[in-house]
Amino acid sequence: MTEPKPKSVKLAGLQPASKPRMSKATAKPRKPKSAYSTEEVEEIFRRFSVQRPEPKGELNYVNPFTLVVAVALSAQATDVGVNKATKALFAVADTPEKMLALGEDAVREHIRTIGLYRNKAKNVIALSRMLVEDFGGEVPRDRDELVKLPGVGRKTANVVLSMAFGQATIAVDTHIFRIANRIGLAPGKTPDQVEDHLVRVIPNHYLYHAHHWLILHGRYTCKARRPECEHCIIADLCKAAEKTNTIPAPLVALPPQVF
């Protein structure tokens, strides 16, 4: 006797449930992806590391405190302009205590060639006071503490953590924000999104210098109005819609003064 073939039985309510679909209103926005593979990102940063083995920021400072002040002053101003103004300022006030003693009027006079100088002078005095009263005159090494200082946002805090204390952070400025989105390395709608994305895609061993490499690449090659793709060392790898060249420029180490 042949066994009867089992009939498929459909039981109401026991069918495999299809995944509930989220409505558009409740669906979480997908995180934007990098346009590059891990190997491509590694190669991009390897080339940056050969081109600029020891990148340095352009702002002049003599200690963590003067760095905080210089970075806070650099918002909507050029580093060259800030350096001109801070040369005389830091000669007389390179600690929070000396800055307080100098007073807001004198600080304002020193920095009057810099945009938004009135407000910035107020902040320099206020942050100096907070450093003296709440932090024993020392610049804190912690981002949450740094952003409590008047005039210090996340970007300034990241620059200070990186340059003064050697922590691997990415302070997303206008150049980094543009490059990350333009070439699809770490797309994001806000600087914080780009920062989170960059920290995830950049290999750890390049993270410390990545901030300067990207700024310098943006300032001198991948410029805002017209990227100079003909001088670009990653032209063959780049996936920007604006790219005008596919042959990479020769990979040579630039002398520090070119920065």
In whole angstroms, the minimum distance from the beta carbon of 254 to ligand SF4 comes to 15
Angle subtended at Cα 131 by Cα 129 and Cα 133, rounded to the nearest 5 degrees? 65
**Is 155 considered catalytic here?**
yes
Nearest to 130, CA basis, from 70, 171, 59, 69: 69
Task: Decide if 144 is catalytic.
Answer: no
Residue number, 41 or 139, with CB nearest to ligand SF4? 41
> Which residue in the list 7, 105, 155, 223 is annotated as catalytic?
155
Q: Is the dihedral of CA 177, 214, 57, 225 positive or negative?
A: negative
* Residue nearer to ligand SF4 on the CB measure, 7 or 225: 225
Residues 6 or more apart whose Cβ sits within 8 Å of residue 34:
41, 184, 185, 186, 187, 197, 201
Helices (H), 138-203: 143-146, 154-165, 174-182, 191-201
Residues that bind ligand SF4 (CB under 6 A): 183, 221-222, 227-229, 232, 234-235, 238, 240, 242-243
Q: Please tell me which residue in 56, 173, 223, 243 is annotated as part of the active site.
A: 173
Length of the chain: 259
From the number of C-beta atoms within 10 Å of its C-beta (0-12, 13-18, 19+), residue 123 rates as buried
CB of 106 to ligand SF4, least distance (A): 43
Give me 63's structure tokens. 């200690």
Whichever of 125 and 229 has its CB closer to ligand SF4, that residue is 229
94 vs 228, beta carbon nearer ligand SF4: 228
Q: Are 61 and 32 in contact (CB under 8 A)?
A: no
Q: How many other CB atoms are there within 10 angstroms of residue 257's CB atom?
A: 5
CB of 32 to ligand SF4, least distance (A): 18
**For residues 110 and 211, which CB has a smaller minimum distance to ligand SF4 in the complex?**
211
Cβ at position 216, least distance to ligand SF4 in Å: 12
Active-site residues, by number, are: 155, 173
